[in-house]
Amino acid sequence: MTFRGDARWLGLLAAGAVLAILAMGQSTPPAIAANQDAAAAIEGTALGGDGLPLAGASLTLARKTPEHEGDKVRDFSATSDAFGRFAFAGLVAGRYAVSASHDGYEYYQGAPVDISSGQRMAGVTIRMSPLAVLSGKVTDEDGKPMPDVTVSPMQRDMVLNGRVLLAAAGGTGMKTGADGLYRLMLEPGRWYLSFRPSHLTAPRLARPVGSSPAAKPNDEPEHGYVTTYYPGVPDSALALGLVVAAGQQMPS
């Protein structure tokens, strides 16, 4: 009887030891818990011009205040999912700014925000404004499409002696293809368009079949194209501006 009682107590002690070991294995070391608490996060949603979630937006989170002079400033990148959601995790305390880009939308630059250690900043909303679209076709005097014409968006620079001077803006423009078509994506506002042929002295009038350059009289003027401004004037002071709104599609 004594032997059986001792065995029972020994069994209870062994079971208690096993439970204690399991409990110790499930606990988190204090150092790891502290590091997890220190990591901050920023979460939010990117929206398009219609207020609906915008997928595929490229977002960058830039740290603006390194803790020390020699600290490297690391940028974090993310892409919004099908529901427009994005997240930046593993952040240290500091000041951050979110920027975003998406084809067909204006570049977004958010105001800097301060985030503390372990803070989870959720519900950040980024509203991106759609660009306006100016499109059209360049043709010659016979109505045929003109390729290799550089179409450049311009804006008013200054007024000098009563003349409106224009300056290139909104990028470097684009060249028309074989069909003479162009399509520019611009920020909302007033825009002027210039059309510059690739060869300003390209002959406009074809020579008769079988003729040679030597057959042309010396006093015959050389015909060529010049830079033209919408709606078809050679002087920028006579150009007409086009006012476009965000997301507007304007064929001309």
pTM confidence score: 0.61
Q: What is the pLDDT of residue 212?
A: 54
The confidence score (pLDDT) of residue 3 equals 42
Quickly state the pLDDT bin for 29 (edges 50, 70, 90): very low
> 115 with 96: CB under 8 angstroms?
yes
Give the span between the Cα atoms of 252 and 240, in whole angstroms. Answer: 12
pLDDT tens digits along 36-45: 446 899 999 9
* pLDDT value at residue 214: 52
CATH pick for 132-206+216-251 out of 3.90.1640.10, 2.60.120.10, 2.60.40.1120, 3.50.50.60: 2.60.40.1120
State how far the Cα of 38 lies from the Cα of 115, in Å rounded to an integer: 11
Contact (CB, 8 A) for 75 and 43: no
Which pLDDT belongs to residue 247?
A: 83
Query: For residue 51, with 0-12 CB atoms within 10 Å meaning exposed, 13-18 middle and 19 or more buried, which class applies?
Result: exposed
pLDDT tens, residue by residue, 54-108 = 999 999 999 886 655 555 567 899 999 999 999 999 999 999 999 999 998 999 9
Output the pLDDT for position 246: 85
At 8 the pLDDT is 52
pLDDT category at 6 given cuts 50, 70, 90 is: low
What mean pLDDT comes out for the span 104-131? Answer: 93
pLDDT of residue 97: 94
Cα(21)–Cα(25) distance, integer angstroms: 6
Q: Is the pLDDT of residue 210 over 60?
A: no
Q: Domain 37-127, what fold?
A: Immunoglobulin-like (2.60.40)
Higher pLDDT, 112 or 74: 112
Domain with CATH 2.60.40.10 in the chain: 37-127
pLDDT tens digits, 155-191: 887 777 767 788 888 666 899 999 999 999 888 889 9
For residue 18, what pLDDT is reported?
A: 41
Q: Which residues make beta-bridge pairs with 112?
A: none
- pLDDT in the model for residue 70: 52
pLDDT score recorded for residue 96: 93
Average pLDDT estimate for 212-230: 68
The dihedral of CA 98, 110, 249, 135: what is its sign? negative
Lowest mean pLDDT among 91-105, 191-205, 234-248: 191-205
Looking at the chain, which residues constitute the CATH 2.60.40.1120 domain(s)?
132-206+216-251
The more confidently predicted of residues 13 and 178 is: 178
> Computed over its alpha carbons, how large is the radius of gyration of the chain?
34
Tokens 């915008």 correspond to what residue?
54
**Is residue 206 scored above 70 in pLDDT?**
no
